Amino acid sequence: GAVVSQHPSWVICKSGTSVKIECRSLDFQATTMFWYRQFPKQSLMLMATSNEGSKATYEQGVEKDKFLINHASLTLSTLTVTSAHPEDSSFYICSAVPVLPHNQPQHFGDGTRLSIL
Amino acid sequence: AQTVTQSQPEMSVQEAETVTLSCTYDTSESDYYLFWYKQPPSRQMILVIRQEAYKQQNATENRFSVNFQKAAKSFSLKISDSQLGDAAMYFCAYRSIEYGNKLVFGAGTILRVKS
């Protein structure tokens, strides 16, 4: 079945540093990937849509300069949290949609737990 | 904009019994997809079942089935013969066909299974 690998699964870092999270589709190509943020016991909130070869589309209220997204290939999207602060601590999940066959559901990565000290 | 409402923050079911999780949504579109995802404590997102709006027949996957009422914009999930491993957070989600593959999630329902 379709597999999405997300790395790292858990990261702890100091306030002010930048953190990069990778999302890879292992056995399919994906022109579109999504990045979500999830607080404990809450739902997934879409942050942005990552489009291969073009700029990401950010949801309202999400700072594009804070959360940099790069989708350089059909199998890799990265989310970089720049100058991270404790309020950025959260669970981040990516998902990818196969190019083919059409109308496939999103396949999710296992998530990244980000803790900023 | 589409919205998804799950009105049950928590539900409990006895092992081997049946439980139904509610979901309603709001949309002006005629064609779309609906999903139920399960998120266990590991926080993996696991697809439980999907329904295409143009299909009148309710989707079924083993012990999981849905009651899709398009006119009422209702999409409930029925879990039969509940097992301890079914304990998780369940999310109902809507996907627009017109607006690409974006998913809109409900707030979620925590399901507890009692032995």
Measuring CA to CA, which residue among B53, B61, B115, B45 is closest to residue B83? B115
- B35-66 per-position pLDDT tens digit: 999 999 999 999 999 999 998 899 999 999 99
**Single-letter amino acid, residue B78:** K
Q: Do B44 and A97 touch (CB under 8 A)?
A: no
C-alpha dihedral (B78, B80, B86, B90), degrees to nearest 10: 0
Q: Do A110 and B89 touch (CB under 8 A)?
A: no
Q: If you ran DSSP here, which 8-state letter would residue A48 be given?
A: E
**pLDDT for position A19:** 97
- A76-96 per-position pLDDT tens digit: 999 999 999 999 999 999 999
Residues of chain B neighbouring A47 (CB-CB closer than 8 A): none
CA distance A114 to A9: 8
Partner B contacted by A60 (CB < 8 A): no
Partner A contacted by B45 (CB < 8 A): yes
- B9-19 per-position pLDDT tens digit: 999 999 999 99
Q: How far is B99 from chain A (nearest CA, A)?
A: 12
DSSP track, B66-115: EEEETTTTEEEEEE-S--GGG-EEEEEEEEESTTTT-EEE---EEEEEE-
**pLDDT exceeds cutoff 70 at A1:** no
**Number of CB pairs < 8 Å for A and B?**
47
- B65-112 per-position pLDDT tens digit: 999 999 999 999 999 999 999 999 999 999 988 777 889 999 999 999
Strand-pair partners of A1 = none
Residues of chain A neighbouring B101 (CB-CB closer than 8 A): 32, 34, 97, 106
Phi-psi region of B16 (alpha: psi -120 to 50; beta: other; left: phi over 0): left
- A37-53 per-position pLDDT tens digit: 999 989 999 999 998 88
CA distance A43 to B18: 24
**pLDDT for position A98:** 85
- A8-67 per-position pLDDT tens digit: 999 999 999 999 999 999 989 988 999 999 999 899 999 999 988 888 999 999 999 999
